[in-house]
Amino acid sequence: MAAAAGPLLRLRSLCRVLLFLSQFYILSGGGSLNLEHSQPLAQAIKDPGPTRTFTVVPRAAESTEIPPYMMKCPSNGLCSRLPADCIDCATNFSCVYGKPVTFDCTVKPSVTCVDQDFKSQKSFIINMTCRFCWQLPETDYECSNSTSCMTVSCPRQRYTANCTVRDHIHCLGNRTFPKMLYCNWTGGYKWSTALALSITLGGFGADRFYLGQWREGLGKLFSFGGLGIWTLIDVLLIGVGYVGPADGSLYI
């Protein structure tokens, strides 16, 4: 019995030694080699590689914006009566001033017009007088007004106005131009009212107060119209239009 137990103890001791050596091998670096080989594999599994992205480009929407000049262009009207903003004309600046002249014109895109027989057309001829836009009569253009200049002054003041030709008037050159005009605006004061106040209540300065000249009005009030002399002078000055509103406007 004792003889059989000897080999078993040796075998058990040998297994313990092998187990110890295997653990020592793993701790000394053998296991790190396996880990080094396993890390790229793990990275390969975790890293799926470069991904491809696809960008969907939408189709460009067709432009449905209406040109600004279309607001002035009547649909299916006579081509010869279209506003100047609706047509393009081959003008000739060498024409003789004041003489009748004809120009070849075409309608702008999106503009529709007809001829005398109500047939659609794109090209036509217009008749006009050879002259630049700034040479037109005052009834053919509109100008801006200025309320910062004095209308009652000597000499009469002028101001620079921006003028624009009316839509259905055809001319050469720029349709918008500057022009020097006389000050011509009103603040609502009536000449008849000012004259009546000057005659009846001028001794109390009522006419000057009405015209917005309160300093002169106080002077006339406390001097009883300059003992009547100032009153007579104001009647004459207002009667001929020399004395006007304090804001520099014209009488109605």
Q: What is the pLDDT of residues 84-114, one digit of tens each?
A: 888 888 888 888 888 999 999 998 888 888 8
Which pairs count as long-range contacts for 174-181, CB under 8 Å and 24+ apart, including other chains?
A: 174/133, 175/84, 175/133, 177/133, 177/134, 179/134, 179/143, 181/143
Burial status of residue 221 (CB atoms within 10 A of its CB: 0-12, 13-18, 19 or more): middle
Q: What share of the chain is helix, strand, coil (3-state, %, to 5)?
A: 40, 20, 40
pTM: 0.52
Rounded to the nearest 5 degrees, what angle is found at the Cα of 172, between the Cα atoms of 113 and 123?
Answer: 25
Low-confidence ranges of the chain (pLDDT < 70): 1-9, 17, 20-64, 152-154
Residue 153: the pLDDT is: 67
Of the candidates 57, 83, 56, the residue with the CA atom closest to the CA atom of residue 71: 83
Whether residue 155 is preceded by a cis peptide bond, meaning omega within 30 degrees of 0, is yes
**What six digits make up the tokens of 21?**
């050596």
Residue 242: the pLDDT is: 86
DSSP, collapsed to helix, strand or coil, labels residue 213 as coil
Give the β-pairing of 113-114 and 176-182. unpaired
Residue-wise pLDDT for 180-215, tens only, equals 888 877 778 888 999 999 999 989 999 999 998 999
Residue 35: the pLDDT is: 44
Q: Hey, which bits of the chain come out as E strands? A: 77-78, 87-89, 100-107, 113-114, 123-129, 141-143, 158-165, 176-182
Question: What residues pair up with 132 in beta bridges, in sequence order?
Answer: 172
Cα Rg for the chain, rounded, in angstroms?
Answer: 50
What is the residue extent of each domain of the chain?
70-130, 141-182, 191-240
